[in-house]
Amino acid sequence: MLKMKPACERCNTRLGLIDDAFICSFECTFCPTCSEALNANCPNCNGNLALRPTRRSSPTEVAKSGFKAKLEKIL
């Protein structure tokens, strides 16, 4: 599972689950401003920085009521 880091590694800007952020294949994470300043190249591994996918909720959040029942019905 992709680790959604909460801050830019260069400037420490907070990055929420739905905020734009850029990552490399090693999940180094940068805000859009820093990614642009770095020419979309990771300074740690020299990999390309790509737009990180967004998440609507954290995987550790409790599922909404009725989810388990719906899942059991599907399975």
Tell me the pLDDT tens digit for each residue of 2-53.
Answer: 888 999 999 999 999 889 999 999 999 999 999 999 999 999 999 999 999 8
Band of residue 64 on the pLDDT scale cut at 50, 70, 90: low
Q: Which of 44, 41, 35 is nearest to 15 (CA)?
A: 35
Q: What is the pLDDT of residue 60?
A: 54
21 half-sphere exposure, CB direction, 13 A CA radius: 28
Q: What is the pLDDT of residue 67?
A: 67
More confident residue, 62 or 35: 35
pTM over 0.75: no
Q: How far apart are CA 69 and CA 58, in angstroms?
A: 21
Q: What is the pLDDT of residue 17?
A: 87
